[in-house]
A and B are shown apart, each in its own frame.
Chain A
Amino acid sequence: MKKLMIIYVIMTLPAVSAFCAGGEKSKIFTPYFDMVLTEGVYVPSEGNFFSGGEIDTRVGLLAKASEKDSFFGLYSFAYSGPGFNPQDTEQWQDRSLSHGFNIEYRRNLSDKFRIRPGIAYSTEFRRTGSNEAWENGLYNTDSLGGQLAVDYNFDFEKNGMLTFQALYRNIEFPNYTDLLSEFNNASNTAETSGGLQDQKMKQVSLRPGWNNFFGGITYTLQDYENQKVVESNGAYGNTLQENKTTRFDLGFHHTLWIFEMYPVASYTMYRSNQNYMRYKYLGATSTDLTSGSSDVTFVSKSYDYNEIELSVPVDLLLTKTGKWAINGSMSMTKRDYTDRPPRDANNNYDFSKQQNNLLTVLGGGLRKRLNDVSMFRINYSLIIAESNNKFEQYLPYNYTGNSLGISYQLKY
């Protein structure tokens, strides 16, 4: 009963706040609700069909304490189910579930400047099938940290804004363990391979936006706390792993005549000091780590890549009010590894080339605005995945897929 009372009190608070928000008059509290549901069926060229869905929910509340001070709380819930993914990212059957909490204090320093310090916590669960327990996911994470953002409003009329943000996160992987190390040291009962993915993430970004055009540059640094870099002799050295990601992106959202367009393009450069050892089977050994056909091969800078992403969705408005629209889209993800060679079907590296992956998605469908706050979509997509990497025992690299999905969005 006590538990019920506590839950009631906690849940009453946002409800009361939201009521005050009703407050078209007061505007002390302003609620925010955005929920997107997507469910689709996927038909790959190899293997049986499967279904998967996505849920993205954000619930927020802006509380205005004074003319210059306000607080913004945001809870986000995200679920991502089975689906086609770009090569070298996730398997089709991977699922993830996350909760995020963000509290931000906003202070207007002047008409044009505003600062936004904040704290954030998130927890994410991952699993590779519905028969696994969410709690046991190898890549489950807990993340805690803070951020400071500064906004400069340079054009009130056209919403011209320049935002600088510095962000810090302490990310822990409570379940992660190096399975290969555990197998190789089966007699060792001490936990020697845990915490290897734990890391501290620092990120700075500069993002301008004007008249529904937007863009930005983001630099991310991941410092691993325990994971050492594997050296060319096949043993771990003393250097800790460090990843650096630089990303540029730009896009816009405009309606030109009967076309509503929202294209986005991005370019990502990912660099890591980590190298890779490929074992063909458990217990494999080799005297020549530089040979691509050895049972054990050392690949320097195996993770470094440059990636271009381009997405061009267009809605063709069939009615003046935009209630009905036909949509078409083309998206492309092209990843070129700077040093990683491709593998043949027998898991042998070809050191004369670099691996490249291309995922192209062509889509089309129908959109209907149900009312001011909700929208429904039905979409068909043709997915073409290509790569010069032919080793596909664990992840598919070359396939064709079809998907048919429905999506429902509610935003207030």
Chain B
Amino acid sequence: MKKSILSGVFLFCFSGSSFAGFDFESKAQQLLGEILANPSAFFYDFQQDLEGTLPLPPGKAWGLHTGLFPSVIPMGYTNISGKYRLHAEGRMYPGLPQMDLIGGYWDMIWAKLATNQSDDVDKASFNGYYYGFILSSSVSPRIRTFWGYKRSQLKAELKLNKAQDLMGVSVTSFDSGFKDDFLIAGLEHPKGINKFWSIQLNYGLSEKIITTKVCWYGKWFELGLNIYPEGVLVIHPVWNFHLNF
């Protein structure tokens, strides 16, 4: 019975007309074309996945942060980020927000392996860094807002010794970089002891890159969905590890 209902719903949704529908091969070619048109923009989105742009929890002065998925697995972005609380909220002057310095670096291990072990690759280098600061203020016991700035820089370089055919697109090399200055605005809401969820918007001033991050985090891990509405892969599920002390 359940199966019949599901079939009925499916038919209702996708009947009534012949859908040219889901042509995954042409979609894949379109996406590949977008990647090759601007490869660094594609890799830049994954850099933003590993960037720690949340404020340190109240009472914490240092933080270490590393992106696990999709940063290390499967992208091979070995990465480390740090946070340092310059001053706590209201400690120096009443009303002065908490200020955290943030920064990090990553390097793609697959690029290094490819350069060392593949005869087809002459050079492959993908790396990047970011730095900035986050200001945070409690507007009620249950809401903390934060604002911030970050500069993100990526460098992507690939040289093959002969052209490779990728789904009909011939690729020999690319050498490009990508950087932007971002403004960050977000809101954090505690759900319990050491449990938070948050939403934030990152906006790139030069390239007009839009990133929204929705995440849930506890003492050790952070789970989230990063949305890049103008990116090749729009939604990135994210899993990060952090240690604050």
Partner of A22, one of B13, B14, B140: B140
A168 at the interface (CB under 8 A from B): no
The interface bits of chain A over 15-49 (1 if a CB of B lies within 8 angstroms of the residue's CB, else 0) are: 11011111010000001010101010001111111
Once bound together, how far apart are the Cα atoms of A400 and B145, in whole Å?
43
Partner of A8, one of B133, B183, B187, B234: B133
Once bound together, how far apart are the Cα atoms of A16 and B99, in whole Å?
11
Listed by A's residue number, 28 A-B pairs whose Cβ atoms lie within 8 Å are A8-B133, A8-B149, A11-B148, A14-B147, A15-B97, A18-B97, A19-B95, A19-B138, A22-B138, A22-B139, A22-B140, A24-B140, A33-B145, A45-B20, A48-B20, A48-B22, A49-B22, A49-B23, A53-B234, A57-B185, A57-B201, A77-B203, A370-B197, A373-B143, A380-B13, A402-B13, A408-B199, A410-B199
Distance (whole angstroms) from the CB of A51 to the closest CB of chain B: 5
Residues of B within 8 A of A400 (CB): 16-17
Residues of A within 8 A of B20 (CB): 44-48
Distance (whole angstroms) from the CB of B225 to the closest CB of chain A: 9
Residues of B within 8 A of A402 (CB): 13-14, 19
A134 at the interface (CB under 8 A from B): yes
Distance (whole angstroms) from the CB of A329 to the closest CB of chain B: 16
Please give 17 more A-B residue pairs, beta carbons under 8 A apart, in addition to A19-B90, A19-B96. Answer: A8-B133, A8-B149, A12-B97, A16-B96, A16-B137, A18-B97, A19-B139, A31-B145, A44-B19, A45-B17, A53-B227, A53-B234, A55-B229, A131-B34, A373-B189, A408-B214, A410-B199
The interface bits of chain B over 112-142 (1 if a CB of A lies within 8 angstroms of the residue's CB, else 0) are: 0000000000000000000001011111101
Residues of A within 8 A of B21 (CB): 43, 48-49
Closest to B137 in A: A19
B230 at the interface (CB under 8 A from A): yes
Once bound together, how far apart are the Cα atoms of A19 and B139, in whole Å?
5
Closest to A50 in B: B27
Residues of B within 8 A of A185 (CB): none
Residues of chain A whose beta carbon lies under 8 Å from any beta carbon of chain B: 4, 7-8, 11-12, 14-16, 18-22, 24, 31, 33, 35, 37, 39, 43-49, 51-53, 55, 57, 59, 77, 79, 81, 95, 97, 125, 130-131, 134, 370-374, 380, 382, 399-400, 402, 408, 410, 412
Residues of A within 8 A of B199 (CB): 35, 37, 374, 408, 410
Residues of B within 8 A of A380 (CB): 13
Residues of A within 8 A of B183 (CB): 11
Q: Which of B140-194 contact A (CB under 8 A)?
A: 140, 142-143, 145-149, 183, 185, 187, 189, 191
Residues of B within 8 A of A77 (CB): 201, 203
Pairs of residues from A and B, 3 with the lowest C-beta to C-beta distance, nearest first: A15-B97, A53-B229, A19-B137
Residues of B within 8 A of A33 (CB): 145, 187
Decide if B27 touches A79 in the complex (CB within 8 Å): no
Give the total of B residues in contact with A, Cβ under 8 Å: 53
Residues of B within 8 A of A22 (CB): 137-140
Residues of B within 8 A of A57 (CB): 185, 201
Decide if B210 touches A55 in the complex (CB within 8 Å): yes
Distance (whole angstroms) from the CB of B104 to the closest CB of chain A: 17
Distance (whole angstroms) from the CB of B78 to the closest CB of chain A: 28
Residues of B within 8 A of A14 (CB): 147
Decide if B212 touches A125 in the complex (CB within 8 Å): no
B243 at the interface (CB under 8 A from A): no
Closest to A45 in B: B17
Residues of A within 8 A of B140 (CB): 22, 24
Once bound together, how far apart are the Cα atoms of A46 and B20, in whole Å?
5
The interface bits of chain B over 9-42 (1 if a CB of A lies within 8 angstroms of the residue's CB, else 0) are: 0000110111111110011001000100110000
Distance (whole angstroms) from the CB of A39 to the closest CB of chain B: 6
B60 at the interface (CB under 8 A from A): no
Residues of A within 8 A of B189 (CB): 371, 373-374
Residues of B within 8 A of A19 (CB): 89-90, 95-97, 137-139
Residues of A within 8 A of B95 (CB): 16, 19-20
B208 at the interface (CB under 8 A from A): yes
B73 at the interface (CB under 8 A from A): no
Residues of B within 8 A of A371 (CB): 189, 191
Distance (whole angstroms) from the CB of B239 to the closest CB of chain A: 19
Decide if B208 touches A97 in the complex (CB within 8 Å): yes
Question: Which of B14, B96, B227 has its CB near the most chain A CB atoms (within 10 A)?
Answer: B227
Closest to B232 in A: A130
Closest to B96 in A: A16
The interface bits of chain B over 192-208 (1 if a CB of A lies within 8 angstroms of the residue's CB, else 0) are: 00000101010100001
Distance (whole angstroms) from the CB of B17 to the closest CB of chain A: 4
Partner of A11, one of B19, B147, B187: B147
Decide if B22 touches A43 in the complex (CB within 8 Å): yes
Distance (whole angstroms) from the CB of B28 to the closest CB of chain A: 11
Q: Which of B198-245 contact A (CB under 8 A)?
A: 199, 201, 203, 208, 210, 212, 214, 227, 229-230, 234-235
Once bound together, how far apart are the Cα atoms of A39 and B210, in whole Å?
13
Closest to B203 in A: A77
Once bound together, how far apart are the Cα atoms of A124 and B97, in whole Å?
32
Distance (whole angstroms) from the CB of A126 to the closest CB of chain B: 12
Decide if B135 touches A39 in the complex (CB within 8 Å): no
